[in-house]
Amino acid sequence: MRETSRPGAKLVMYAGLLVGAAIMLFPFLWTVITSITPGGSLSNGPTLFVKDPTLAAYEMLFKTLPMAQIVANSLVIAVASTLAQLLTGSMAAYAFARLGFRLKGLVFGLYLATLMVPLQVLVVPLFIEMKTFSLQDTYFALLAPSLASAFGVFLLKQAIEAVPRELDEAATLDGASHLRIFSTVILPLIRPGLATVAVFAFMGSWNSFLWPLVVIRSPELMTLPLGLDTLHGEHLTQWDVVMAGSVVSIVPIALIYLFAQRHIIAGIAQTGIK
């Protein structure tokens, strides 16, 4: 009975996965189609058929906004934020996973508790801090809140704890210091975890809207989410242009995820996060 029921169960499972995938992909497909629809409008609801596709919306997008500067700003901040989180997160994770110090459990618990504090609560204190040191409306102000990530530390700590301690002990017997063990033993073995943190960090910075909206005033420092927000008119919105901007913002994230997909899956499996 079990053998005969397996094909049917698999068929149902695959059908469910296909339906789920279609539901997830439909908004992205609709975004692309609307961006190539002449005078794209949302008044008639979603459509999957374009009579005369055109790239005029993309032309208008690059004429309306300094897209090269905006994309460069977002890219610089996202890359710098990602590198900073990888550095600070991996070093803190190594300390929590391998070093012994007083109140380590309490400190780690308090550190993880910051994950429950939403950004909206921190915006005002962060802005006051930036203003006190005259750092508002600068690249550093955009970058400062994302220099470290409690989630990244947690994920990398789990990855480091999955590495056998015998490797550390063997390196110690050979005279390696903690810095040498960290750089030559631990980091190469937690590459899937590092890739996972890198993708999450890049996505978080690339899509950040609230903090740049609060701290930035100069148009030359505008990031991509802020640039796309200016496309919404008070009385009229050209949705084909807005969707074209959305496609431009989605492409880098999609490429990065496709490139690092194997490492992300391995990293999540390795750290036990579901």
pLDDT tier at 72, thresholds 50, 70, 90: very high
Distance CA 217, CA 127 (A): 13
Q: State if pTM tops 0.75.
A: yes
Q: CATH 1.10.3720.10 spans which residues of the chain?
A: 64-271
Which of 132-141, 236-245, 264-273 has the highest average model confidence (pLDDT)? 132-141
Q: What is the mean pLDDT of residues 192-219?
A: 90
Cβ neighbours of residue 145 closer than 8 Å, sequence gap 6 or more? 119, 122, 126, 211
Q: Which two tokens stand for residue 104?
A: 């380590």
227 CB-contact burial (10 Å; exposed 0-12 / middle 13-18 / buried 19+): buried
Taking the C-alpha atoms of residue 190 and residue 267, their distance in angstroms, rounded to an integer, is 8
What's the sign of the alpha-carbon dihedral 23, 28, 33, 38? positive
pLDDT at position 46 over 70: no
Per the structure block, which two tokens stand in for 64? 């309306």
Token pair recorded at residue 24? 């997830």
Output the pLDDT for position 1: 43
As a whole number, the mean pLDDT across the chain is 85
Cα–Cα dist 51/35, whole Å:
13
Nearest to 86 by CA among 131, 152, 9: 152
Question: 192 with 264: CB under 8 angstroms?
Answer: yes
CA 252 to CA 262: how far, in whole Å? 17
The CATH number of domain 64-271, selected from 3.30.450.70, 1.10.3720.10, 1.10.274.10, 3.30.200.20: 1.10.3720.10
How does pLDDT run across 149-194, given as a tens digit for each residue? 999 999 999 999 988 989 988 988 888 888 999 999 999 989 888 9
To which H or E segment does residue 161 belong?
helix 150-161
∠ CA(101), CA(154), CA(122), 5° rounding?
100
Non-local CB neighbours of 124 within 8 Å, separated by 6+ positions? none
The residue-averaged pLDDT of 183-206 equals 90
